[in-house]
Amino acid sequence: MTRVTDHDPSQCPPLDLSDQLRIAVGALWRRIRSERSADDLNELQYSVLAHVVRHGPLSFTRLAADTRVTPTSITRVADHLEGVGLAERTRDAHDARVSVLGPTPAGTDLVLDVRRARSQWLSTALSKLSASDREVLAHAAPLLRRLAETGDRA
C-alpha cells in the first residue's frame, strides 16, 4: 500500500487514501469516544440517547434506520434508557399507535456533559498542533462531513 505521506497527496490513489483516512478517523474517533463519564451505557445506548438529544423525540422505526440497527435492538435500548431515567417513551402526537423516544432532562445533561468533555479534549489536542496543521484540518472538516453524509453504501 502506498502511504499518503510517501508522495504528493494529490496523486494518492483513492483506495490508498481511503485506507489512510479509515485508519486515522477510526483512531481519532476511538480516542474521542474514550472521553466519557462512567455512565454505564454501552456505545449503542449512548449513541441513541445522543441522537434523540440532537433531533428530538423520534419513532423507534426512525431511530433504527438512523442508527442502522434493528427495531428490536432499539426497543432494548429504549427499555434500558427508560429504566435508568435518561429517556422516556411517549405516543406520537400525530399517530397514537406510534411510540417515540425522547430524552429526559438527565439524559440531555449527560449528553451535553460528554460533548463538553470531548470538545475540551479535542480543543486541547488541536492547540498542540501548528497553525498550518490546524488550517489543513479546518479545510478537511467540511469534506469529511460531506463524506460521512453520503448515502452511498459499498
pLDDT in tens, 88-147: 999 988 888 889 999 999 999 999 999 999 999 999 999 999 999 999 999 999 999 998
Q: At residue 89, what are phi and psi to the nearest 5 degrees?
A: -100, 130
Please write the tens of the pLDDT for every residue from 30-48. 999 888 765 779 989 999 9
pTM of the model: 0.77
Q: What is the CATH number of domain 35-146?
A: 1.10.10.10
pLDDT digits (tens, 9 = 90+) for 12-26: 787 788 888 899 999
Helices (H), 5-70: 14-33, 43-55, 60-67
